[in-house]
């Protein structure tokens, strides 16, 4: 009977019906059979009845398996056919954000020179962000980096108060406290300032800090290193020049300009006709900074060692590399902008 029924199965619904009729747990024919036969059988006949029942059950199960495996009809398959030779619609692939990419590129340039990579906290203490970087309390240079402070800190001593770091320079001190000289490290990271946003300023931006400390490090080493880095980032025809500047934590200090990559130094709108664009600050580490580091690591004795440091704005470098004229685009999340970097 089961064989006959199975031979007529042509649709998935009929197969399911067959399963229910024969193998259904409550009302199935096999269930009824086992209830009536096995339970009422004489004890000495049970063994054989059981074996024959199991044989029957596996016949029905394999009939069901064959019927289910037979699948839908040829016409049903033809109706659902997919042409796998058609070109697919391409989904959007994620891509590295241009700021992340630029930051990694800068780090790579210095890693190739033997620099290691460090990080530090974005919520920083006044001590690391300012005091240990030789901005004493009340020093006017603090005003050059308008600071976003964490609320309700007034009861703490000034040096312990928390703020959003205004530059990556505090990680110089954190690194020196952990590692004796010699030291070569780059520190990529996010920084914040209480500044109005415009085409070239953002209240949140990124810097890559560099610090090199050893015996006999000179300003020539600083110039050579940064000139190499700018050529590695912008191409070998780029020129650099150094202008006197001021940072409390370096002496002497300099601002570094590169020849405008848009006009090759002739003068254009991007470089305000000057032929040069300012990209970063740098200088020789001030002995006062080494004195703070020497409190934890006596090796930072300014009589024995010297060093240079620099800090570059990643957005400014990315704007130059990719010809972006408004810094706000990096933070807009606008897919039309971001897709260009995919």
Shortest approach of ligand FA5 to residue 206 CB, angstroms?
Answer: 8
Shortest approach of ligand FA5 to residue 295 CB, angstroms?
Answer: 20
Tell me: does residue 170 bind ligand FA5 (CB under 6 A): no
Helix (H, G, I), strand (E, B) or coil at 90: coil
Tell me: does residue 310 bind ligand FA5 (CB under 6 A): yes
Tell me: does residue 201 bind ligand FA5 (CB under 6 A): yes
The closest alpha carbon to 314, from 185, 187, 211, 219, belongs to: 187
Known binding residue 209? Answer is: no
# residues near ligand FA5 by CB under 6 A = 26
Sole window of 101-109, 118-126, 268-276, 309-317 interacting with ligand FA5 (rule: CB under 6 A): 309-317
Q: Which one among 16, 17, 105, 195 touches ligand FA5, defined by CB under 6 A?
A: 195
Tell me: does residue 316 bind ligand FA5 (CB under 6 A): yes
Tell me: does residue 217 bind ligand FA5 (CB under 6 A): no
Q: Which one among 115, 118, 313, 318 touches ligand FA5, defined by CB under 6 A?
A: 313
**Strand pairing category for 204-214 and 183-192:** antiparallel
Sole window of 68-76, 98-106, 150-158, 277-285 interacting with ligand FA5 (rule: CB under 6 A): 277-285
* CA distances, 292 to each of 1, 170, 331 (Å): 96, 12, 36
- CB-nearer residue toward ligand FA5: 18 or 130: 130
Residues 6+ apart with CB under 8 A from 131: 137, 158, 159, 292
Q: Are 106 and 312 within 8 A, CB to CB?
A: yes
Tell me: does residue 202 bind ligand FA5 (CB under 6 A): yes
Tell me: does residue 115 bind ligand FA5 (CB under 6 A): no
DSSP 139-204: -GGGGGS---B-SS-TTS-GGG-EEE-SSSTHHHHHHHHHSPSSEEEEEEEEEE------SS--SE
Shortest approach of ligand FA5 to residue 261 CB, angstroms?
Answer: 15
Tell me: does residue 132 bind ligand FA5 (CB under 6 A): no
Shortest approach of ligand FA5 to residue 101 CB, angstroms?
Answer: 17
Q: Are 250 and 275 within 8 A, CB to CB?
A: no
* CA distances, 163 to each of 146, 158, 342 (Å): 11, 11, 35
Q: Are 246 and 143 within 8 A, CB to CB?
A: no
Question: Any idea what DSSP says for residue 115?
Answer: -
Shortest approach of ligand FA5 to residue 242 CB, angstroms?
Answer: 12
Helix (H, G, I), strand (E, B) or coil at 94: coil
Tell me: does residue 281 bind ligand FA5 (CB under 6 A): yes
Shortest approach of ligand FA5 to residue 228 CB, angstroms?
Answer: 17
| Cβ neighbours, 10 Å, residue 324 | 18
Shortest approach of ligand FA5 to residue 258 CB, angstroms?
Answer: 11
Contact footprint for ligand FA5 (CB under 6 A): 145, 167, 169, 193, 195, 201-202, 205, 207, 209, 247, 250, 253, 279-283, 309-313, 315-316, 327
Binding residues: 251
């Amino acid at each position: 009977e089961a064989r006959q029924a199975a031979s007529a199965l042509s649709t998935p619904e009929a197969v399911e019906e067959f399963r229910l009729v024969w193998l259904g747990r409550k009302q199935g024919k096999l269930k009824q059979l086992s209830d009536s036969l096995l339970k009422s059988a004489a004890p000495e006949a049970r063994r054989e009845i059981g074996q024959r029942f199991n044989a029957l059950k596996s016949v029905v199960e394999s009939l069901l398996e064959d019927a289910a495996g037979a699948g839908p009809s040829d016409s049903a398959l033809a109706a659902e056919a997919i042409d796998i030779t058609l070109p697919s619609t391409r989904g959007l692939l994620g891509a590295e954000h241009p700021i992340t990419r630029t930051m990694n590129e800068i780090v790579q340039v210095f890693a190739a020179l033997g620099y290691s990579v460090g990080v530090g906290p974005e919520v920083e203490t006044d001590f690391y962000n300012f005091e240990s970087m030789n901005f004493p309390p009340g020093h006017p240079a603090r005003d050059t980096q308008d600071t976003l402070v964490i609320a309700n800190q007034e009861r703490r001593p000034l040096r312990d108060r928390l703020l959003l770091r205004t530059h990556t320079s505090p990680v110089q001190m954190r690194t020196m406290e952990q590692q004796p000289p010699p030291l070569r490290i780059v520190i990529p990271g996010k920084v914040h300032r209480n500044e109005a946003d415009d085409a070239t300023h953002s209240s949140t931006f990124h810097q890559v800090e560099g610090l090199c400390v050893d015996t006999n490090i000179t300003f020539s080493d600083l110039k050579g290193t940064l000139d190499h880095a700018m050529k590695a980032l912008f191409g070998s025809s780029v020129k650099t020049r150094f202008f006197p500047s001021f940072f409390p934590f370096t002496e002497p200090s300099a601002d570094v300009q590169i020849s405008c990559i848009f006009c090759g130094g002739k003068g254009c709108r991007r470089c305000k006709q000057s032929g040069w664009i300012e990209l970063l600050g740098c200088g020789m580490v001030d002995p006062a900074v080494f004195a703070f580091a020497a409190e934890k690591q006596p090796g930072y004795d300014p009589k024995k060692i010297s060093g240079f440091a620099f800090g570059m704005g990643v957005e400014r470098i990315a704007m130059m590399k990719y010809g972006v004229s408004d810094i706000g685009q990096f933070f807009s999340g606008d897919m039309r902008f971001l897709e260009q970097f995919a």
